[in-house]
Structure 1
Amino acid sequence: MTPARRPDAAGSSVLSTVVDFRGGSAMIPASRDIVQGFVGRLAEAGVTTSAEFLDAARLVASELVTNALRHAPGPCRLVLTLVEEQVEIAVSDTGEGFPTFLPRDPLRVGRHGLEIVTRLCDEVITKPHAQGKTVYARLPLS
């Protein structure tokens, strides 16, 4: 996982955003706003994205933050990083449980977030750490 550099300035800093949330439902819409600001920074740096990228990135971040809110006590962290031709959306929380896939059920209302994230992203992995876990999702720019 080598972070990409800004295309217009070799050796400049990695494009990344880190936000810590204390909890509460307000962090869900806030995560979408943070993604929108980050995508604006990508455009300013000359990074081209598809027409659908912003909506997809906002949805992925929102779903991951929602899962953290629902399944883990305490704070969570949202990290957005440009990595090669993708944006890595990482959400860390203090929960010990790992995300699990539910069997396909077209009658189930809700609880489809992980399905949505894996459908949109090239890669979704979960890594444990000392106090919780981080879910990393790689969304292609185009």
Structure 2
Amino acid sequence: MHARYALSEHDGCIAEARHRAVAFLTKAQVDRHLPVPPRARDLTQLVVSELVTNARKYAPGPVLLELCINARAVDVVVWDSDPTVPVARAADPDRIGQHGLEVVRAVTEALFIEQELVGKRITARIALSGGPGGHATSTHPS
């Protein structure tokens, strides 16, 4: 099951993206009888929020959100128009802000970043059972 959303270019799109993610997961539970534990629902909202916030902050123009789910995981895919590949910064407890990618990497099973002809696509995979997986980071989804 998957869904795609074009998000508006205002700051309210971050909340809109979280609401769409919850509605998508609820639909997966009801229509497809897929188990979505509360932890996976919460982590999906967190990852959506962090990735969409970064896209709005650093890339001009539209943001696209794609959600995919199967019996094992939820993929949160965010596309934006900036081709610059984000890099998680070294841990620094004194730094204020700019921890989004660190957070996403810490709570996901895998993180993939793909540069495209226009912009980039970031895919974060959230396990539906257990904790975060191997924390793989790659430039291509498997």
TM superposition score normalised by structure 2: 0.86
Q: Does residue 54 of the first structure (1) align with residue 41 of the second (2)? A: yes
Contact 1:22/1:74 (8 A) holds in 2 = no
CA distance in 1 between counterparts of 2:119 and 2:70 reads 24
Larger Rg: 1
Contact 2:71/2:128 (8 A) holds in 1 = no
Match of 1:43 in 2: 29
Question: What stretches of structure 2 of length at least 5 have no aligned partner?
Answer: 130-142
Amino acid at match of 1:97: T
Q: Does residue 117 of the first structure (1) align with residue 117 of the second (2)? A: no
Contact 2:78/2:123 (8 A) holds in 1 = yes
CA deviation after TM superposition for structure 1 residue 135, in Å: 0.2
CA distance in 1 between counterparts of 2:42 and 2:69 reads 17
Q: Deviations over 1:95-121 (max 9, x none)?
A: 021111111101111111111111111
CA distance in 2 between counterparts of 1:19 and 1:86 reads 19
CA deviation after TM superposition for structure 1 residue 53, in Å: 1.2
Amino acid at match of 1:19: Y
Task: Please point out which of 79, 88, 113 is paired with 2:75.
Answer: 88
Match of 1:12 in 2: none
CA distance in 2 between counterparts of 1:27 and 1:98 reads 22
Question: What stretches of structure 1 of length at least 5 have no aligned partner?
Answer: 1-14
Match of 1:79 in 2: 66
Partner SS for 2:5:
strand
Matches within 5 A, 1:1-16: 15-16=1-2
CA deviation after TM superposition for structure 1 residue 84, in Å: 4.7
Contact 1:124/1:136 (8 A) holds in 2 = yes
Amino acid at match of 2:112: I
Q: How many residues align?
A: 128
Contact 2:7/2:17 (8 A) holds in 1 = no
Q: Deviations over 1:53-95 (max 9, x none)?
A: 1111000001000010011110010000014500110000000
Superposition RMSD on alpha carbons, in Å? 1.0
Contact 2:34/2:71 (8 A) holds in 1 = no
